[in-house]
Amino acid sequence: MENKIINLGIFGFGVVGQGLYEVLNRTKGINARIKKICIKDPNKSRPIDSSYFTTDKNDILEDPAIDVVVELINDTEAAFEIVSTALRNGKAVVSASKRMIAENLPALYQLQAENKVPFLYEASSCASIPIIRNLEEYYDNDLLNAVEGICNGSTNYILTKIFEENLSFETALKQAQDLGFAETDPTLDIEGFDPKFKIVILLLHAFGTFVKPEEVFNFGIHHLNDFDIQFAKQRNCTIKLIAQCRRQNGHVFSYVLPHLIKEHNLLYDVYNEYNGILLESAFTDKQFFVGKGAGGTATGSAVLSDISALLYNYRYEYKKIKQNNQPSFTNDVQLKIYLRYKTQGQVDLAEFFHISEKYESAEWRYVVGTINLQKLREAGWLKNKDVNILVLE
Amino acid sequence: MENKIINLGIFGFGVVGQGLYEVLNRTKGINARIKKICIKDPNKSRPIDSSYFTTDKNDILEDPAIDVVVELINDTEAAFEIVSTALRNGKAVVSASKRMIAENLPALYQLQAENKVPFLYEASSCASIPIIRNLEEYYDNDLLNAVEGICNGSTNYILTKIFEENLSFETALKQAQDLGFAETDPTLDIEGFDPKFKIVILLLHAFGTFVKPEEVFNFGIHHLNDFDIQFAKQRNCTIKLIAQCRRQNGHVFSYVLPHLIKEHNLLYDVYNEYNGILLESAFTDKQFFVGKGAGGTATGSAVLSDISALLYNYRYEYKKIKQNNQPSFTNDVQLKIYLRYKTQGQVDLAEFFHISEKYESAEWRYVVGTINLQKLREAGWLKNKDVNILVLE
């Protein structure tokens, strides 16, 4: 498509859509212009000219003059419908919808292959960090062992405020929402669903393995209390919500869990709404990427990078799928965790493989020990608000 | 070239060449094999079969079966001769020779364009960090303000040992050399030439501006003494050798200078032979990349990534050159520095624009003030071993 002007049809004009509009307007040298923006509510007041807007999706999907469909809406089902129709209609698609993508990766992979059109989604994982592109392009010859990191800006903002400014969980959450870092439904962030969608996407590009989001265990920071925070501080650690996928004995496992992080760990210094991704590989040891994980222009800029890549006929090659030596997914690994609870009987310590520390006081108890990830995933007792876990390094 | 096997002709079999051999051997899924390796000394004992080796460059340059020439030698003039002949002969070229590339960027840019063959050199800048590829591919739509970072593994190793383990400069240098992190000629590292070659390359890919290495001022850590180290520690800072290029008022300036770095700065935590690059842009704020900047397999892996990219017909687009709105290069900027010296008359304080602090004792004196980069570049007094400078944040 080089040297021609790309016509964009955009779905959604929220934080990211408006960020994209701003970024596009201030960028010289990108031959792309917005032809139509499809929105739900025609009566909402908009910061740009009304001639841009339509409520009829076919004004974009059926317009042969539109080359690229940019999907930036919150409704997962509607997003999948839009993206798959666009791909079938031979249009290139750029999307930022992590949940929709994570839940439909096999179908979307098929659709882009069958219809021979590019489908790019850099903004879906860690916003401004070009992690998918780097996994695709740069680590295909490297023996990757692990991808782990902080993939959720709002929980990282909350944890930063708790550890650096001694704010309460509630005050920090409120601040994050006021600043627009938290998603529409905060439980997606706080319970670790949002980073799970991202790690499922990254796992495919890192290892070539398709995994359903429901196979990956996620537990967030919603049970965190002052006792846990003191436990971390006494050990000169901070707490970060970590999403990871890691190769082990020919398999790959993955989870989203709060971790104790020591000061020398590169992830320790990822603050506020920033995200950080640590890659471990056989030849290059550790590689680390840091960038803003939330915010309109940061995400809009990632979307525009995908649009710009389309001008150079870029598409994901999914080389690791094609190499046909993907590790299979497993939850059968041992994790060393801290488990905090209030009264005996709230947890089942018999499920531990090994317990190395036990503590009890009138208020709280904890154990440190090794437990199988699959057992943790099935543990009903984790639903109890009195119970929390932290993974130890 | 997809699906065919690439035949490689390699020049040089030192640390990087052997690293490449190892990485290639352990990597499945890369359709590339070494056909010939051209070396200088046929009598040196080699860890692999002698049938690989030749001393006649034409066995590679004139062999039509060789698709890709990989240039990994230390001799700058010979390297340029090899690379330009290979490009003229229509072969794709991968090189890790930062000095040769930095000194010949305009000619090499012309050669790859005229002969319509790819010329890739990711390993030349920050070894395992995919920074050139990211600047090329990912930041073309972003309004980049600055690229700054730690681009030299051996000086960073030395500074880490000095600050973290209180080693003397000499002991730390010896350790770096024993570990193979230091270049053949340590002055290239210690006086800041090596990172200068890298920043000249990055400047072209970041801003589209050609700059000759001799236009960029470099001053290393060769004058650093205990007094400077104490000065840094008293201010809760560390010292890092920083290469940077930065946009200012429509121009771009660049230098390599030792900096005081505060604890909250992401570069503070880049230790040992690791490199770190911080990008500042209008939309994504700060982006940070960390990875090993030295060592055979780390650099070999970067070379192999370029080879792998050739399989997918990748080449640098040099979009920022083509966009034709490059900032022009300048040295006319003010820097805030610490200047340490022994006796009056060793330095010319009249060259300062402004002085905010003055200190003197029987042993050492220093001033803190603002000075023009061009004046610093021309200052003969900086050659005096009693004189050192540090840039302040």
pLDDT tens-place string over residues A167-201: 988 898 888 888 877 666 789 999 999 999 999 99
- B295 close to A1: Cβ distance less than 8 angstroms: no
Q: Write the pLDDT tens digit of every residue in B294-310.
A: 888 888 989 999 998 89
Chain A residues close to B140, C-beta within 8 Å: 29-30, 305, 308
Q: Write the pLDDT tens digit of every residue in B154-202.
A: 999 999 999 999 998 889 888 888 887 766 678 999 999 999 999 999 9
Mean pLDDT of A38-63: 94
CB contact B286 to A (< 8 Å):
yes
Percent of chain B with pLDDT over 90: 77
- A67 close to A15: Cβ distance less than 8 angstroms: no
What does residue A84 show for φ and ψ, rounded to 5 degrees?
A: -70, -35
Using DSSP, state whether A248 is helix, strand or coil: strand
Instruction: Please give the angle made by the CA atoms of B284, A47 and A75, to the nearest 5 degrees.
Output: 70
Q: Of B2-16, B51-65, B260-274, which gets the smallest average pLDDT?
A: B2-16
Mean pLDDT of A78-103: 97
Q: For residues B9 and A296, which has the higher predicted lDDT (pLDDT)?
A: B9
CB contact A26 to B (< 8 Å):
yes
User: Mean of the per-residue pLDDT values for chain B?
Assistant: 93
User: What's the gap between Cα B146 and its chain centre?
Assistant: 16
Q: Which of B286, B308, B323 sits opposite A28 (nearest CB)?
A: B323
Q: What is the ipTM of this complex?
A: 0.87
3-state secondary structure chain B: CCCCCEEEEEECCCHHHHHHHHHHHCCCCCCEEEEEEECCCCCCCCCCCHHHEECCCHHHHCCCCCCEEEECCCCHHHHHHHHHHHHHCCCEEEECCHHHHHHCHHHHHHHHHHCCCCEECHHHCCCCCCHHHHHHHCCCCCCEEEEEEECCHHHHHHHHHHHHHCCCHHHHHHHHHHCCCCCCCHHHHHCCHHHHHHHHHHHHHHHCCCCCHHHCEECCCCCCCHHHHHHHHHCCEEEEEEEEEEEECCEEEEEEEEEEEECCCHHHHCCCCEEEEEEEECCCEEEEEEEECCCHHHHHHHHHHHHHHHHCCCCCCCHHHHCCCCCEECCCCEEEEEEEECCCCCCCHHHEEEEEEEEECCCCEEEEEEEEHHHHHHCHHHHCCCCEEEECC
Using DSSP, state whether A110 is helix, strand or coil: helix
Q: Which of B29, B141, B309 sits opposite A308 (nearest CB)?
A: B141
Q: Which of A133, A283, A302 sits opposite B300 (nearest CB)?
A: A283
Chain B residues close to A317, C-beta within 8 Å: 312
- A38 close to A10: Cβ distance less than 8 angstroms: yes
User: Out of B57, B98, B196, B198, which one is annotated catalytic?
Assistant: B198
Chain A residues close to B304, C-beta within 8 Å: 141
Q: Write the pLDDT tens digit of every residue in A243-281.
A: 999 999 999 999 999 999 998 899 999 999 999 999 998
Q: Write the pLDDT tens digit of every residue in B100-117.
A: 999 999 999 999 999 999
User: Is residue A52 pLDDT above 90, yes or no?
Assistant: yes
User: Is residue B141 pLDDT above 70, yes or no?
Assistant: no
Tokens, residue A204:
């495919």
Decide if B198 is catalytic. Answer: yes
Distance from CA of A351 to the nearest CA of B (A): 39
User: Out of A36, A161, A196, A198, which one is annotated catalytic?
Assistant: A198
CB contact B291 to A (< 8 Å):
yes
User: Is residue A316 pLDDT above 70, yes or no?
Assistant: yes
Q: How far apart are CA B231 and CA B348, in angstroms?
A: 21
CB contact B304 to A (< 8 Å):
yes
Q: Which of A141, A266, A308 sits opposite B290 (nearest CB)?
A: A266
DSSP A160: H
Mean pLDDT of A359-373: 97
Chain B residues close to A27, C-beta within 8 Å: 141-143
The domains located in chain B, with CATH, are 6-130+295-322 (3.40.50.720), 331-393 (3.30.70)
**Which A residues, 127 through 156, put their C-beta within 8 Å of a C-beta on chain B?**
128-130, 133-134, 137-143
- B2 close to A322: Cβ distance less than 8 angstroms: no
Closest-CA residue of chain A to B26: A143
Closest-CA residue of chain A to B309: A137
Q: Which of B28, B129, B282 sits opposite A325 (nearest CB)?
A: B28
CB contact B116 to A (< 8 Å):
no
Count of CA atoms in the C-beta half-sphere (13 A) of B250: 1
Q: Which is nearest to B10 in space by CA: A145, B124, B19?
A: B19
**Which A residues, 191 through 250, put their C-beta within 8 Å of a C-beta on chain B?**
none
Mean pLDDT of B226-248: 96
pLDDT of residue A264: 85
Q: Write the pLDDT tens digit of every residue in B21-40.
A: 998 988 877 889 999 999 99
Total Cβ atoms within 10 A of residue A250 = 9
User: Which of B22, B284, B312 to substitute to test the interface with A, most A CBs within 10 Å?
Assistant: B284
Q: How far apart are CA B117 and CA B87, in angstroms?
A: 7
Mean pLDDT of A315-333: 91
